[in-house]
Amino acid sequence: MFWKRSGLKRRYRVRDNSRFQEIRRTGQTYSNRLAVLCILENRLPYSRFGFSVSRRIGNAVVRNRVKRRMRESVRLRMSQIQPGWDCVVIARSPIRKTTYGQIDAALARLFGRAALFVTDMGRNEGRA
């Protein structure tokens, strides 16, 4: 039986290391206890997302679990996030011992602080 992949599609991912570095170096940064969010405008009709989990977080199993949880949180909120931004989410050490719900709430707070959520009236006025 074949499984359908339900992760982020390739077009919605930041893949180039040079772009990761540019977002990290020149983008705006927002942080909380669990993660750091770096954003930079991309002038595309959609937003792209990248995830970084360093070896300090734990072994490969732990790092991959954290990445999957962060990706799923973003995937479920993609329709609420404004188009036209490249976002990099960097995990911090305390994230290894948290649940999916805590990761989801932390990322929602970061995207809210960055004013990237689309409001009921359309695009968010903070980033228009």
1 confidence band (pLDDT: 50, 70, 90):
low
Burial group, residue 78, by CB count within 10 angstroms (0-12, 13-18, 19+): middle
Q: What is the pLDDT of residues 91-118, one digit of tens each?
A: 999 999 999 999 999 999 999 999 999 8
Pick 126 or 26 by higher pLDDT.
Answer: 26
In the chain, where the domains are located = 14-114
| CATH 3.30.230.10 is the classification of domain 14-114 | yes
pLDDT score of 128: 46
